[in-house]
Structure 1
Amino acid sequence: MSAVSTAIAHRIRAIPAGYLYVLVAILGGSVASVITKQALTSDIAPMPLLSARLILSAVILWLIQFFVFRQRPLLERRLLLGATAAGVANAISLTAFYLALQYIDASVAMVLFSTNPLFVLGMLTLLGSRPTRLDTGRAALGLIGVTLLVGVGGQVAWQGVALVMVTVVVFSIHLMIVQRTLYGYSTAQITPLFITVMAVCVSAVYFLTTPPAIWFELPADGWIVVGITAVFSTVLARLALTAGIQRIGSGQTALLSPVETVLAVIMAVIFLGERLSPLQLLGGALVLISAALVMRRPLSPSRR
């Protein structure tokens, strides 16, 4: 078998595993949004929750790298720059999402977040992929859905909507950075650096804006949320997401976001008692349909 044929065979075998990794990451994200909203509803501040989550996650990931993968940190320039850029972007994205949950329901936030494929599609267009009439139709459908979801009756706080939109845009940038600057590095090499950068960014903001006497003053249920979101929604999910992006690309990874939305909405209804009005359900359905339709768009291997 030629080298080219062997490479193609390995690529084909990697695709199913890539989708499995992304689905694990999606489940972690769905759980995090619901239990974080529950904590915020109990008057627990978002920044200590996020800062403690990321610090604990970074410690666990470095322990995994040293004692499970048995690897020393790789300090190559491209890796350091890529991990720093991606970490800063995702720190901004995740902070915005935590702050958004103070204003809007978890179900609404997750439906808004599912517009992410449209932003990835827009970035791919800027990078040279030509938009089609169908692309325009998908974007219009998504915008109509968002309008119905957040604009009917003025019941959804605009601050929360704006923060989720910041989350979506910056998260899309983060996906592109991971694919284009960190391809070729193993998950074990990328993830500890990435999460450490996030922990430093978020914790710096938290420490600078909070008196030292009340740093990390969290009730017991707050620490439970920190533990779950650190171990399952960050460590396991981040390892899985990075591995998934490397196998199926940032475009296909973003296109699976409707699955995360559906899971999060179901859990929010069951565990938080959230409800969407009929018009909001229609808007949410249009957003999900728009995101799903993007999956029909062919993406060249170099642009995925």
Structure 2
Amino acid sequence: MGYVYMLLAAASWALIGPVSRVALAAGLAPVEVAFWRALFGGLLFAAHTWALGLPRPARRGLSGAVLFGVVGVALFYLSYQYAVAYGGAALASVLLYTAPAWVVVGSRVFLGEPVRAYGTVLVVLTLLGVVLLAWPQGGWRVSAAGVGWGLVAGLAYALYYIYGKLQFERFHPVALLAVALPVGAVVLWPWVDFAAKSAPVWGALVVLSAVSTYLAYLFYALGLRRLEATRASLVATLEPVLASLLAFVWWGERFTPLGYLGAALVVLAVAGTALEPWFSRRRSARS
């Protein structure tokens, strides 16, 4: 079930781009969209916490949730927007999905997960696939600021998996996220220039908060409880593939030839991740 939950999380996150278009086209800045996602998503997790009667996390869990809110929510959202602004969406996407490589290193250092040759090959396949998927028609727009902010975004995104493995088995993830997301919203607040919003824009923000934040984070937490951090991060890289498919269905946007190859490599890496336990059992049976 861990793979199913991570696939559902990736599908929920894949809606961010298409649904955000409604809000962005109405004049909202990306940072304001991120603020409302964090605020409304946090309120949904707070309601979930109240409905389950969950206790507030102990001091150690509470401090970890606050740190995750600052780094994993506020810094992640801001750094990705700056990466897009300074380096373009394609470069930002590629640097964001260096996260599985950071997760491999972090999982070894902080979680004691082994670094397997098979898993390393899958990470390389994933990175190559994302590069090809995001390859821009007019070439790359590279700047030091774009690369720097993109790497910060990738590291902050990798924290989702390291933090989750360290905390979600000690404390209930719903209670932790009920703290982390509002903290992220508070940190984002000073950067927000609020714009007037119509009913369709509020509707888009509610969908982003309910589906791409609340449900996505819930699926991510359930999946991470059942999978190693490296495997979970690899499965989640289906997000840009699914987002591109949605863009094709809704707006007729097509992959480039390199994009088709990149999407195939990402799908292959995710399939390889899911099949790895089966391969391991077969090797054990033969030996």
**Mapped partners of 1:142, 1:27: distance in 2:** 17
What CA deviation, in whole Å up to 9, does each residue of 1:27-73 have, x standing for no partner? 2211122211453345431111111222222223223322x2133x5
Q: 1:89 and 2:75 equivalent? A: no
**Pairwise CA RMSD of aligned residues?**
3.3
- 1:230 positional shift: 1.0
Distance 2:269 2:5 in 1: 24
- Within the candidate set 235, 238, 261, 1:256 is matched to 235
With structure 1 as the length reference, what TM-score do the two structures score? 0.73
Structure 1 residues 202-221: aligned runs within 5 Å: 202-206=188-192, 210=193, 215-221=194-200
Distance 1:151 1:296, change over 3 A: same
Q: How does 1:6-17 map to 2 (within 5 A)?
A: 16=1
Moved more, 130-139 or 217-226: 130-139
Identical pairs, percent: 24
1:23/1:132 CA distance change after superposition, 3 Å: closer
- Cross-structure match for 2:221: 242
Deviates most, 285-294 or 260-269: 285-294
C-alpha separation in 1, matches of 2:231 and 2:41? 26
Match of 1:194 in 2: 180
Task: Mark the CA change 1:280 to 1:157 in structure 2 (over 3 Å): closer, same or farther.
Answer: farther
Counterpart in 2 of 1:155?
Answer: 139
Task: Name 1:80's counterpart in structure 2.
Answer: 62
CA shift at 1:135, angstroms? 5.5
The normalised TM-score by structure 2 is 0.76
Q: What does residue range 256-295 of structure 1 map to in structure 2 within 5 Å?
A: 256-290=235-269, 293=272
* AA of the residue aligned to 2:61: L
AA of the residue aligned to 2:17: S
Match of 1:181 in 2: 167
Partners of 1:24 and 1:262 in 2: CA distance? 13
In structure 1, give the amino acid aligned to 2:224. I
Answer yes or no: is the 8 Å Cα contact 2:82–2:146 preserved in 1: no
In 2 relative to 1, CA 111–265 (structure 1 residues): closer, same or farther, beyond 3 Å?
Answer: farther
Distance 1:269 1:110, change over 3 A: farther
The one-letter code sitting in structure 1 at the alignment partner of 2:231 is: Q
Deviation of 1:179 after TM superposition, in Å, equals 1.3
User: In structure 2, what is the Cα distance between the partners aligned to 1:251 and 1:173?
Assistant: 12
- Structure 2: 5+ residue runs without aligned partners? 278-287
CA distance 1:204–1:250, change in 2 (3 Å): farther
CA positional deviation for 1:151 = 5.8
How far 1:218 moved relative to its partner?
Answer: 2.8
SS of 1:276 mapped into structure 2: coil
SS of structure 2 residue aligned to 1:217 = coil
Q: Letter of the aligned partner of 1:59 in structure 2?
A: L
Q: Indicate if the aligned counterparts of 2:10 and 2:216 stay in contact, CA closer than 8 A.
A: yes
Distance in 2, matches of 1:100 and 1:36, equals 17
Matched, 1:27 2:11: yes
From 229, 249, 257, the counterpart of 2:208: 229
**Match of 2:218, as an amino acid?**
L
CA deviation map 1:116-163 (0-9, x unaligned): 323312323445556455566555545544554556764344479745
| 1:56 and 2:40 are equivalent in the alignment | yes
Going from structure 1 to structure 2, the CA distance change for 1:229 and 1:150 (only over 3 Å counts) comes to closer
